[in-house]
A = this chain, B = another copy of it.
Amino acid sequence: MTTVETRAVVDLLGVLAYAELTAFDRLAEDARMAPTPAGHAALARMAAAEIGHHDRLVRRLGELGADPAWAMAPFVPALDGFHASTRPRTWLEGLVKAYVGDGLAADFHREIAGFLPEPDRSLILEVLADTGHADFAVREVRAAIAAEPALAGRLALWGRRLVGEAISQSQAVIADREQLARLITTGTGDVAGIGRLIDRITAAHTERMRTLGLNP
């Protein structure tokens, strides 16, 4: 890898490592809104999976000679900002955030990982692979909407707000990290390539909203 490439890889591993750490915090916090111990444990299990991923990313940062805390630091404001502005007020909002928000972030990071050399491409794809816990969120949200159809409108609004906040924070991060921005523009090839990337991410998001029974 060239120095420029290494810097972009460290950026991507850093943002992901911090994303997993904050995802742990938020899922653990939201778990406490669960109406049953089974729901509580299900969200706690999602949180536990995140910390396993975090550990693998931190290990790889160490192999690359990067200080993990230093690599994560530039992304703290954007990720903390995202979570502060999308704090779920209910158990169902927490589940929608866990499913829609994490899905969106995973898609975005997966696209960028495609531009990286090995072994980092595979590491990131593995870390982002769905751990199957998402099924739980889908089941719960669908059941709640079936019991109270009026919920669908409010939760759809919430889903759209999550995307809006995610996009605005991602733009801020990319504008601020030159190597990361270059990786994306080089990887996608041109403006049309960036457009297609955004289309793919949007399509997957729409699909997830539909899976939950929400109007995208």
Q: Contacts A47-B48, A48-B51, A51-B44 given; indicate if A37 touches B21 (C-beta within 8 A).
A: yes
Kindly state whether residue A120 has any CB partner on chain B within 8 Å.
Answer: no
Kindly state whether residue A7 has any CB partner on chain B within 8 Å.
Answer: no
Kindly state whether residue A32 has any CB partner on chain B within 8 Å.
Answer: yes
Segment of A52-60, A121-129, A177-185, A202-210 in the binding face = A52-60
Q: Tell me if A41 and B69 are in contact (CB < 8 A).
A: no
Q: Give CA–CA (A84, B69) in the complex, Å.
A: 32
Interface on chain A toward B: helix, strand, loop, or mixed SS? helix
Task: Tell me which residues across on chain B come within 8 A of A58, comparing CB atoms.
Answer: 38, 41
Q: Tell me if A21 and B45 are in contact (CB < 8 A).
A: no
Q: Chain A: residues with CB nearer than 8 A to chain B?
A: 18, 21, 24-25, 28-29, 31-32, 36-38, 40-41, 44-45, 47-48, 51-52, 54-55, 58, 68-69, 72
| Chain A to chain B: the 9 pairs with minimum beta-carbon distance, closest first | A28-B28, A48-B48, A44-B51, A48-B51, A37-B69, A24-B44, A45-B51, A41-B54, A37-B72
